[in-house]
Amino acid sequence: MAEQLAFDWPVRVALGREDFFISEANARSFAMISAPEGWPEGKLAIVGPKGSGKTHLARVFAQNNSAVLLHASKVSADFAPPKAACVVIEDMETLPREAEEAVFHLHNHLRGRGKLLLTSDRAPSRWAIALPDLASRMQATTVSHIDDPDDRLLGAVMMKLFQDRQIAPPPALIAYLVSRIDRSFAAAARMVADLDAAALAQGREVNVPLARALLDNPPPSGG
């Protein structure tokens, strides 16, 4: 069968509180963003690998607390603290050197009067921050780690990834994949994307036979 032309349509991601699946791997992080009044010094860093749900948790916190959402890479040197009492900065490992002083002032501005939620794929001690005052304050931040997914969370993550792509996978497919792919969020995201692409290109349904074919003959890395 000739392969069909597949378009890379944008994926609509559901990020509401009701869309978040809680398991042992992320329960502590979910509990902490749900009770910011308990954060030491009013700040928290959520650390976990790509695809682990950090952005989802950040959105839930932002919705519940009318927080300003920022991406670290977009923070500029002339950034001024917003009027909002709660601020989220995602992917702190991407913070530009020239924005460090601005984030330092934001940290001080919120201390005692608001909440600061940070996310990253690595611990604050590994953020390449040159400004000593900011580095010390970031390293003193309470950290909540999202662990590698267990079977239940891995299955739920894949189900959500399929739903974000408007795909309704048969239950047998989720069980089949959970027992065969690497136990990581990245592997789950990669498999769902590969299955979606293969189904579109080949005009096939997303099911166990297609998954088996992909696992037997995985697509080239980066392809």
pLDDT tens digits for range 84-121: 999 999 999 999 999 999 999 999 999 989 999 999 99
Contacts for 78-86 with beta carbons within 8 Å, 24 or more apart? Answer: 78/102, 79/103, 79/106, 81/105, 81/106, 81/109, 81/110, 84/114, 85/110, 85/113, 85/114, 85/115, 86/36, 86/61, 86/62, 86/114, 86/115, 86/116, 86/117
- Per-residue pLDDT averaged across 195-221, rounded? 92
Query: Considering the entire predicted model, what is its pTM?
Result: 0.74
Domain 26-145 top-level CATH class? alpha beta
Cα–Cα dist 17/74, whole Å = 26
pLDDT value for 58: 94
pLDDT at 19 over 80: no
- Per-residue pLDDT averaged across 176-202, rounded? 93
pLDDT at 192 over 90: yes
pLDDT at 130 over 50: yes
Tell me the percentage of the chain whose pLDDT exceeds 90: 70
pLDDT value for 152: 85
- Per-residue pLDDT averaged across 146-151, rounded? 85
Beta bridge partners of 143: 45
Residue 221 — very low, low, confident or very high, per pLDDT cuts 50/70/90? Answer: low
pLDDT at 10 over 60: no
> Which secondary structure element, helix H or strand E, spans residue 55, and what is its range?
helix 54-65
Cα–Cα dist 61/4, whole Å = 41
pLDDT value for 183: 85
pLDDT value for 143: 98
pLDDT at 202 over 80: yes
Q: Please name the residues in contact with 27: beta carbons below 8 A apart, sequence gap of 6 or more.
A: none
Residue 56 — very low, low, confident or very high, per pLDDT cuts 50/70/90? Answer: confident
pLDDT value for 24: 80
Cα–Cα dist 142/42, whole Å = 9
